[in-house]
Amino acid sequence: MPGLGHMFRKSKKAEKKEAVKIEVKGAPGKTYLKAMPLRDLSDLDAVKSEVNSGNILILRVTPLANKSVEDIKRAVNELCEFAESVGGDIARLGEERVVICPPNVKIWREKQAVPSEPTPTAA
Protein backbone atom coordinates (compact mmCIF):
# COMPACT_ATOMS: atom_id res chain seq x y z
CA MET A 1 0.00 0.00 0.00
CA PRO A 2 1.91 3.02 -1.18
CA GLY A 3 1.58 6.37 0.49
CA LEU A 4 0.54 5.26 4.00
CA GLY A 5 3.79 6.38 5.60
CA HIS A 6 2.65 9.99 5.86
CA MET A 7 -0.37 8.94 7.95
CA PHE A 8 1.85 7.56 10.69
CA ARG A 9 4.36 10.37 10.90
CA LYS A 10 4.36 12.38 14.09
CA SER A 11 3.48 16.01 13.88
CA LYS A 12 6.02 18.59 15.06
CA LYS A 13 3.79 19.22 18.09
CA ALA A 14 3.73 15.50 19.00
CA GLU A 15 7.51 15.29 18.63
CA LYS A 16 7.93 18.31 20.91
CA LYS A 17 5.64 16.76 23.55
CA GLU A 18 7.56 13.49 23.33
CA ALA A 19 10.84 15.37 23.83
CA VAL A 20 9.39 17.02 26.93
CA LYS A 21 8.30 13.66 28.33
CA ILE A 22 11.81 12.30 27.93
CA GLU A 23 13.21 15.26 29.89
CA VAL A 24 11.02 14.55 32.93
CA LYS A 25 13.14 12.63 35.40
CA GLY A 26 12.19 10.40 38.30
CA ALA A 27 11.23 6.84 38.95
CA PRO A 28 8.84 5.52 36.30
CA GLY A 29 5.31 5.27 37.67
CA LYS A 30 6.16 7.21 40.85
CA THR A 31 4.45 10.56 41.15
CA TYR A 32 4.28 12.24 44.52
CA LEU A 33 1.93 14.97 45.69
CA LYS A 34 3.91 17.47 47.76
CA ALA A 35 2.82 20.56 49.66
CA MET A 36 5.17 23.41 50.41
CA PRO A 37 5.04 27.11 51.24
CA LEU A 38 6.38 29.66 48.77
CA ARG A 39 8.34 32.02 51.02
CA ASP A 40 10.79 33.59 48.58
CA LEU A 41 11.44 33.84 44.85
CA SER A 42 14.45 31.57 45.35
CA ASP A 43 12.00 28.75 46.21
CA LEU A 44 10.96 28.65 42.54
CA ASP A 45 14.05 26.63 41.61
CA ALA A 46 13.01 23.87 44.06
CA VAL A 47 9.45 23.94 42.69
CA LYS A 48 10.67 23.58 39.10
CA SER A 49 13.02 20.77 40.09
CA GLU A 50 10.19 18.85 41.77
CA VAL A 51 7.90 19.24 38.74
CA ASN A 52 10.74 18.16 36.43
CA SER A 53 11.08 15.08 38.66
CA GLY A 54 7.45 14.25 37.89
CA ASN A 55 5.88 15.42 41.15
CA ILE A 56 2.73 17.46 41.72
CA LEU A 57 3.13 20.47 44.01
CA ILE A 58 0.58 22.36 46.04
CA LEU A 59 2.11 25.71 46.92
CA ARG A 60 0.86 27.92 49.72
CA VAL A 61 1.59 31.40 48.39
CA THR A 62 0.47 33.42 51.42
CA PRO A 63 3.96 33.73 52.99
CA LEU A 64 5.33 35.38 49.83
CA ALA A 65 2.16 37.43 49.29
CA ASN A 66 2.49 38.85 52.81
CA LYS A 67 6.01 40.07 51.94
CA SER A 68 5.39 41.50 48.49
CA VAL A 69 2.45 41.56 46.10
CA GLU A 70 4.87 42.25 43.23
CA ASP A 71 6.94 39.16 44.11
CA ILE A 72 3.86 36.92 44.14
CA LYS A 73 2.81 38.24 40.73
CA ARG A 74 6.31 37.62 39.40
CA ALA A 75 6.39 34.11 40.91
CA VAL A 76 3.00 33.10 39.51
CA ASN A 77 3.88 34.45 36.05
CA GLU A 78 7.18 32.56 36.09
CA LEU A 79 5.46 29.34 37.18
CA CYS A 80 2.81 29.73 34.46
CA GLU A 81 5.51 30.15 31.81
CA PHE A 82 7.43 27.19 33.24
CA ALA A 83 4.35 24.93 33.26
CA GLU A 84 3.58 25.86 29.67
CA SER A 85 7.18 25.31 28.55
CA VAL A 86 7.34 21.76 29.94
CA GLY A 87 3.79 20.84 28.90
CA GLY A 88 2.56 20.77 32.50
CA ASP A 89 -0.46 22.41 34.06
CA ILE A 90 -1.08 25.02 36.76
CA ALA A 91 -4.21 26.25 38.53
CA ARG A 92 -5.29 28.26 41.53
CA LEU A 93 -6.81 26.44 44.51
CA GLY A 94 -8.76 29.08 46.37
CA GLU A 95 -7.11 32.28 47.55
CA GLU A 96 -3.97 30.86 49.14
CA ARG A 97 -2.82 27.91 47.05
CA VAL A 98 -1.59 27.04 43.58
CA VAL A 99 -1.17 23.54 42.16
CA ILE A 100 1.45 22.81 39.49
CA CYS A 101 1.64 19.48 37.68
CA PRO A 102 4.14 17.73 35.40
CA PRO A 103 3.32 16.93 31.75
CA ASN A 104 1.72 13.54 32.50
CA VAL A 105 -0.93 15.12 34.78
CA LYS A 106 -3.65 17.50 33.66
CA ILE A 107 -5.97 19.55 35.87
CA TRP A 108 -9.67 19.08 35.23
CA ARG A 109 -11.54 22.33 34.83
CA GLU A 110 -15.31 22.43 34.85
CA LYS A 111 -16.70 24.40 31.96
CA GLN A 112 -19.47 26.60 33.24
CA ALA A 113 -22.24 27.57 30.88
CA VAL A 114 -22.73 31.30 30.58
CA PRO A 115 -26.44 32.00 31.00
CA SER A 116 -27.97 34.03 28.21
CA GLU A 117 -30.56 35.50 30.57
CA PRO A 118 -29.87 37.53 33.69
CA THR A 119 -29.87 35.55 36.92
CA PRO A 120 -33.20 36.03 38.72
CA THR A 121 -33.08 37.77 42.08
CA ALA A 122 -35.37 37.46 45.07
CA ALA A 123 -38.29 39.86 44.97
Give the model confidence (pLDDT) of 68-108 as tens digits: 999 999 999 999 999 999 999 999 999 999 999 999 999 99
Higher pLDDT, 2 or 103: 103
Q: What is the DSSP string of 100-115?
A: EE-TT-----PPPPPP
- Per-residue pLDDT at 45 exceeds 90: yes
Report field, pTM of the whole predicted structure over 0.75: no
Domain 33-106 top-level CATH class: alpha beta
Provide the residue ranges of all domains of the chain, joining segments of one domain with +.
33-106
Between the alpha carbon of residue 123 and those of residues 115, 116, 117, 118, the distances in Å are 20, 21, 17, 14
Average pLDDT over residues 15-39: 68
